[in-house]
């Protein structure tokens, strides 16, 4: 055993993490025994609700049929704002046919110089018009945080009703939280100065959501 392993073993023992399976079972039993609190009643039109709430929060939204239509949709959006043809994308969407749409898209983490970031999402929340993005090798968080413009591809099939549903989906599909889970509700904003809302203060000043109707 290396010195590092020995140190980590002692740290885990000190904070009681050697019995993770038991503690996880206790937590799951607690959640099962305690029903959710009051929640709003939403219609079955989750996509409609999500779009309305997202637009209320200053996101722009469009719908396309399939993911293969995304490059052309992104190209149109960038052209409409004179944002050029260069972008950075999370690796999970970098394999789309960007070149055929006339775009120069790099699949990597974003840096300060990047102006446009394109990402997918883990899911979207209809109640609040919010995206849930999980960090990882295929979805680095910098792509949605550093560029001035964030474009997210949102499969309609991944829209859930409430925040509680999003966490339930996360537990069911991932089992545990990643290093970072980012909830994004429109462009970054602040009202610190004289209670005047300013967009883009701490992140993207533009968020464009492309809702994908079909999974094929």
| Digit-coded pLDDT (tens) for 29-74 | 887 777 777 777 777 799 999 999 999 999 999 999 999 999 999 9
pTM: 0.83
* pLDDT tens, position by position, 85-97: 999 999 999 999 9
Q: Which residue has the tokens 């545990």?
A: 176
Q: What is the mean pLDDT of the chain?
A: 89
- List pLDDT tens digits, range 97-106: 999 999 999 9
Please count the other Cβ atoms lying within 10 Å of the Cβ belonging to residue 150: 27
Confirm if 144 and 117 have CB atoms less than 8 A apart. Answer: yes
pLDDT at 17 over 60: no
d(CA 145, CA 147) in angstroms, rounded, equals 6
- pLDDT value of position 16: 60
Tell me which architecture the domain covering 45-212 has in CATH. Answer: 3-Layer(aba) Sandwich (3.40)
Give the span between the Cα atoms of 191 and 88, in whole angstroms: 29
pLDDT in tens, 156-184: 999 999 999 999 999 899 987 888 999 99
Per DSSP, helices labelled H in the chain are 3-14, 20-33, 46-56, 70-80, 142-145, 163-173
CA pair distance 72, 61, nearest whole angstrom: 15
> Which two structure tokens, joined as six digits, stand for 187?
């462009």
Q: Domain limits of the chain?
A: 1-34, 45-212
């Amino acid at each position: 055993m290396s010195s590092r392993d020995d140190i980590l073993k002692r740290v885990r023992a000190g904070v009681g993490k050697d019995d993770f399976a038991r503690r996880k079972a206790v937590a799951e039993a607690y959640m099962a025994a305690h029903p959710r609190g009051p929640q709003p009643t939403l219609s079955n039109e989750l996509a409609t609700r999500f779009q309305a709430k997202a637009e209320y929060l200053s996101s722009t939204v469009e719908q396309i049929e399939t993911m293969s239509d995304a490059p052309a949709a992104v190209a149109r959006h960038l052209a409409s704002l004179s944002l050029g043809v260069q972008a950075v994308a999370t690796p999970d969407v970098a394999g789309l046919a960007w070149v055929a749409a006339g775009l120069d898209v790099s699949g990597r983490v974003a840096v300060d110089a990047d102006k446009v970031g394109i990402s997918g999402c883990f899911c979207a929340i209809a109640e609040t018009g919010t995206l849930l993005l999980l960090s990882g090798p295929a979805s680095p968080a910098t792509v949605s945080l550093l560029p001035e413009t964030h474009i997210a591809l949102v499969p309609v099939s991944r829209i859930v009703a409430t925040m509680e549903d999003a966490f339930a989906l996360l537990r069911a599909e991932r089992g545990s939280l990643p290093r970072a889970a980012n909830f994004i509700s429109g462009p970054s904003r602040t009202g610190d100065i004289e209670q005047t809302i300013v967009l883009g203060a701490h992140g993207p000043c533009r968020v464009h959501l492309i809702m994908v109707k079909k999974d094929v």
